Structure 1
């Protein structure tokens, strides 16, 4: 039997001479429980928002996207399209044109990005699931249509009826503005067929139009902005990406869905790290309650220390009793906090009882939660590490006073 651990467990659950010590011990355990719960719940909610954002971007973005390292556009003849199409796992190959333009709808004006897309765009994205009004139609009986982002539609005042066309105005290629500025611009009109909603970053930026419409409007000729690729679900995206990069060389970037929004993902990772460090710091502060609890316990048990010394207990054994006491407080708090944190996350996943404010203005109504096992393990390990270090100070320095007194 481990005598120090046995005595430490008795000290933990037994009533002390002073009720304040029981209160401080309860506060110590509660502080660790709350800190551990907060870490698990907050990080799980952040993981939920991150997964939600990546899901919506995944619905709008291609599996892989090829862009030039320099400049906005490149000649499509520079790409060995057949070599890329013949790579196992490639299902869809689409050339894309993206350029800025001024839009006019009624009396409203707005700058947006015109994205010329092919007919198979819906085949390698989930754009159909993002339509909030109208339909995803690019061509119907020879008439070309545009699908507008919700933010663009809001700024232009595009209503539900789609009665009026959107007028798109762009500068002509290689033309100087002279006496008549009208000769230096290209313009065309197109009716909206639907409105899509992803995230504000996308909604307020993009208008999707047929590829041929964008090609004529921007006079791009054989130049394109990017190539979007749809990959088989059973294929390894990383391996396909590397093979395409080897074919294209250093003049082109080949990015997966995650890398297409690298800055956003880096920002979210940084925010998660900062929140984690802040909560760990709060947990460290909360662990000072363990110091207080052990200090008071050592003072309360000074008579027991003298009795144990008289019975032949060594100073090392007595120190281990109070060291185990501190560790038990930390382990108990970590276990209960972890279980409660996971339970609350499960309740939110199953029942969505915590609603977002201003219900109806978001794509979801409740806080999203995603539990990542590595986060839980890391949190539990850090809490145990803090709990391991916290008792060392009072056990080493405060108990010394009573141990030396007993020896004398």
Structure 2
């Protein structure tokens, strides 16, 4: 009798009721579930869009693969394991890097920032050339050293704090780093620091991330090693793979070579904290909107309850056709589930359509559209897995929410008859 119950439930769903209010409430129920589903699809897609946007911003500064010591901050540049990694057939370029905190005086006040020394082949390991910014009226290019001079290239936010990316005019600043294992001598503080002069390259970089733009400065590897008292040491090995290489497979091979002494991370893992926070925000939004779906399903209970009252006279007819009380209860239960399913289908279709429309036409702008943001419109990215999760969630919530109330009401109806 399962097909019979399903057939009757479908007839009840689309047929005209004796009281127009029931049709109206049924339509409202479908619309309510559809709107909640649309909100879920759009919200999940917007979070995906921001994640994709952030990942593209990081790729210009972060290497494809990064090798760092598993314990401690520094490792020997000529470590045998690192030499094997450099010679891996899929590695196109490997750049030695060292970074740590440093200090510079700005108008007499100390400014602590992250000084990163990189090898001469740094432009081969990263896409730094794609995010170089040249200030109008200043002639410069990205360079690390020339002759006796070492050059510094700050993030655009740090350059703004320094006053200009042309900070060698009139006097190049000196960069200070506390000497290892030495306390500050109050009588002669300068003796407790290593220091060196950095000249401006005339350019800065812009990643559109405060972590980098406001805190990082790039310079030559030798200058940073000398300043940190870490000659021959590095804090990371940044790797660019050959064209056609699969990052995941090469990462697996390099991890095997690195053993437990070094950690190999791809771009997503290098920004693990950022993406973890975004995933938590996405999950919270998902749970909140799922609760709204649950509230929308209460309309289904009201719609089916009125339908049960409206069809009291049909129960006797169904019994004469051979339907049992269980079949009759199943008819109204399926009625509620059909409403939830119809709302979920409509909501998914509308939600996906709106997302693609936003992706191609950018109807909803960020801010006033005056160009102060990285993108003019809210980014969206529709992921099939998220759409399936939303659809299943709405169906499960809808099915479960109507189960007890509908069975209770239908049993009362059959018992009274």
Change (3 A) 1:304 1:80: closer
Residue 333 of structure 2 contacts residue 407 of structure 2 at CA under 8 Å; is this kept in 1?
Answer: no
Give yes or no for the alignment of 1:370 onto 2:371.
no
**Higher mean displacement: 158-167 or 386-395:** 158-167
Corresponding residue for 2:192?
184
Alpha-carbon offset, residue 138 of structure 1: 1.2
Aligned to 1:242: 252
Cα distance 1:79–1:161, how it changes in 2: closer, same or farther (>3 A)? same
Aligned position for 2:60? 59
For the pair 1:272 / 2:282, whether they are aligned, the reply is: yes
- CA shift at 1:65, angstroms? 1.3
- The aligned length equals 406
Quick check: 1:156 aligned with 2:162?
Answer: yes
Partner of 1:51: helix, strand, or coil? helix
Could you say which residue in structure 1 is the equivalent of 2:296? 286
Structure 1 unaligned residues grouped into runs of 5+: none
Decide whether aligned partners of structure 1 residues 268 and 249 sit closer, same or farther in structure 2, where only a CA change above 3 A counts: same
Contact 2:100 2:114 in 1 (8 A): yes
**CA positional deviation for 1:243:** 2.7
Which one is further off, 143-152 or 30-39? 143-152
Cα RMSD for the two superposed structures: 2.3
Contact 1:64/1:230, CA 8 A, preserved across alignment: yes
Partner of 1:320 in structure 2?
Answer: 330
Could you give the per-residue CA deviations for residues 174-231 of structure 1, whole angstroms, max 9, x where no partner exists? 5444432222223223214222222112212210112222223333211211111111
Answer yes or no: is 1:214 the counterpart of 2:224: yes
5+ residue gaps, structure 2, are none
Distance 1:240 1:357, change over 3 A: same
Stretch deviating more after TM superposition (37-46 or 58-67): 58-67
* SS in structure 1 of the partner of residue 271 of structure 2: helix
> Could you tell me whether the CA contact under 8 Å between 2:141 and 2:201 is conserved in 1?
no
The 1:15/1:163 distance shift into structure 2, 3 A limit, reads farther
Query: In structure 1, what is the equivalent of residue 177 of structure 2?
Result: 170
Q: Whole-Å Cα distance in 1 between the matches of residues 55 and 400 of structure 2? A: 39
Q: Does 1:385 align with 2:403?
A: no
TM-score by length of 1: 0.91
Please give the alpha-carbon distance, in whole angstroms, between the structure 1 residues aligned to 2:356 and 2:38: 13
Which of 238-247 and 41-50 deviates more?
Answer: 238-247
- The TM-score with structure 2 as length reference comes to 0.90
Q: Between 389-398 and 115-124, report the one with greater CA deviation.
A: 389-398
Distance 2:381 2:335 in 1: 34
Partner secondary structure for residue 391 of structure 1: helix
Deviation string 1:228-275 (CA, Å, 9 cap, x unpaired) is 111124223233223323333322222121211222222222222222
SS of the residue 2:102 aligns to: strand
What is the alpha-carbon distance in structure 1 between the residues aligned to residue 36 and residue 383 of structure 2? 18
User: Residues 139 and 395 from structure 1, CA distance in 2 versus in 1: closer, same or farther, beyond 3 angstroms?
Assistant: closer
The 5 Å alignment of 1:102-141 reads 102-106=103-107, 109-134=110-135, 136-139=141-144
- SS where residue 200 of structure 2 aligns? strand
The answer to whether the 8 A contact 2:103-2:110 is kept is yes
Match of 1:336 among 339, 346, 349: 346
- Residue 358 and residue 72 in structure 1: after superposition, are their counterparts in 2 closer, same or farther (change >3 A)? farther
Distance change (3 Å), C-alpha of 1:296 and 1:166: farther
Q: Secondary structure at the match of 2:388?
A: helix
Q: Does the 8 A contact of 2:165 with 2:200 survive in 1?
A: no
Of 150-159 and 51-60, deviating more is: 150-159
Alignment CA distance shift 1:140-1:309 (3 Å): same
Q: Deviations over 1:103-156 (max 9, x none)?
A: 234556421000011222222212122223346511475454322112212333
What is the deviation of 1:322?
Answer: 1.6
Q: Which position in structure 2 is the counterpart of 1:26?
A: 27
Please report how far the alpha carbon of residue 73 of structure 1 lies from its aligned counterpart in structure 2 after TM superposition.
1.5
Per the TM alignment, residue 379 of structure 1 is displaced from its structure 2 partner at its CA by: 1.0
Distance in 1 (CA, whole Å) between partners of 2:376 and 2:199 is 34
Counterpart for residue 147 of structure 1: 153
Deviates more, 1:391-400 or 1:343-352: 391-400
| CA distance in structure 2 between the partners assigned to 1:160 and 1:176 by the alignment | 34
Deviates most, 339-348 or 230-239? 230-239
